[in-house]
Amino acid sequence: MRRSVGGIIPPSTGELKRIAALYHFELTDKEADFYYGLIEVTLASYRRVGELPEPRPEARYARTSGAAPAPQENPHGGWAWRCSVKGAA
């Protein structure tokens, strides 16, 4: 079964053979099956990485979400967001 990984759908063995032909070489059915297997194994690794929880390091200092600077602090629109991390050296 062909499953999408991050929007990538692996090519079928027939598609692999057509792609090979575009570059002027031929794949046997056995070779196309072999390369399809390699693609599936690689995409399975990507699937697994996508399933893992994103690591979130523990914050050593209290944090807030910050805020946009006041217009008088940012007359030229140079800041997007303002924050402070107290305790960091």
Q: Which tokens in the block code for residue 8?
A: 């990538």
Q: How many helices (H) and strands (E) does the chain have?
A: 2, 0
Q: Mean of the pLDDT values across residues 27-47?
A: 93
Q: What is the widest separation between alpha-carbon atoms in the chain?
A: 70
Other beta carbons within 10 angstroms of residue 8's beta carbon come to 11
pLDDT at 30 over 90: yes
pLDDT of 86: 76
* Residue 14 pLDDT: 96
Separation between Cα atoms, residue 55 and residue 78, nearest integer Å? 32
Amino acid letter at 12? S
Q: Would you place residue 2 in the very low, low, confident or very high pLDDT band (cuts 50, 70, 90)?
A: low
Summarised one tens digit per residue, pLDDT across range 42-86 is 998 988 888 899 988 887 777 778 888 888 888 898 878 888 777
Return the pLDDT at 87: 73
Q: Rounded CA gap, 45 and 63, in Å?
A: 35
